[in-house]
Amino acid sequence: MIFPLTIQTVEDVSGHYDELDTAYREIWGEHVHHGYWRAGRETPTEATEALIDLVADQLDLRDGQAVCDIGCGYGGTARYLASRHRVAVTGFTISGVQARFAQSLANGDGSVTFVHRDWLENGLPDGSFERAYAIESSEHMIDKARFFTEAARVLKPGGRLVVCAWLSRSNPTDMEVRHLLEPICREGRLPSMGDREDYAGLASNAGLVPVSFDDIGLDVRRTWSICARRFMLKLFTDGHYRRLAFSRSTRNRSFVLSVPRLMIALRTGAMRYGVFVWDKPATGPETNLLRGGQ
């Protein structure tokens, strides 16, 4: 596990998304996650939706299921899944700005609900959902072990968890850690960055059974060149972005420096993009392992 030199708190994470709200919505759009270029010819919108479709396929969604979006951002993914798969999605975000925006666009049929709350203190009853997913949010959890135990706890026996995560390569070099991975954690408000083995061990300890893993880092890396171009255009045409990038009052302006780091890290393989699938056992002692929330 890689940890930033400066400890990142829950308040740091929420403050990052609250302060950079305009940039995220205008540059990333309603889906604050990577795009997935399967064929290589997709538009950014098509690639973004392709990642959601990949998650939906791995979740094996069925009509009427209760689904949890752990780290829902602006709620775009939850709305997309609810409208296309006839499931009920409850999204959690630590950002008050994101929660208000998501709630303002909630589907009128009640198929999506958004909660402004720390996932690690979610307060949900045991066995609340058939399915759960976390797209690029586990990186922001200050306690990754508890992230997994809470996910396993709120799943019904036989439920499924899908996680898309930024990962370091196994055994990165000192140079990769010093110049790429540690600064990415610090500048992006990631309390830690794990590798595939870290996530596998934490999930196993939480009583989850592995189903599959895919590294799609090469298929998502185009996201950052697109974001860099959009940001540079905004920088030249919009005074708000110049203030955001250069004003000392902007606490999270260092994230701009992480964009080239992320491009290099994904291109060289220092950073990976993992798609994990785990099941909660339908029967047996494992189903009672997490009662009490731990």
Parse the chain into domains and list their residue ranges. 10-282
In this prediction, residues 135-162 reach a mean pLDDT of 98
Whole-number pLDDT of residue 212: 97
For 218-274, the pLDDT digits (tens) are: 999 999 999 989 888 888 888 877 877 777 777 777 777 788 999 999 999 999 999
The reported pTM is 0.92
| Least confident span in 36-40, 62-66, 167-171 | 36-40
For residue 292, the model assigns a pLDDT of 39
Position 110 scores a pLDDT of 83
User: Looking at the domain covering 10-282, what would its CATH class be?
Assistant: alpha beta
Least confident segment among 46-55, 182-191, 225-234: 225-234
The full DSSP string for the chain is: -B--SSPPPHHHHHHHHHHTHHHIIIII-S--S----SSS---HHHHHHHHHHHHHHHHT--TT-EEEEES-TTSHHHHHHHHHH--EEEEEES-HHHHHHHHHT--TTS-EEEEES-GGG--PPTT-EEEEEEES-GGG-S-HHHHHHHHHHHEEEEEEEEEEEEEEPSS--HHHIIIIIHHHHHHTT-S-B--HHHHHHHHHHTT-EEEEEEE-HHHHTHHHHHHHHHHHHHHHH-HHHHHHHH-TT-TTTTHHHHHHHHHHHHHHTSEEEEEEEEE--SSSGGGGTTTT--
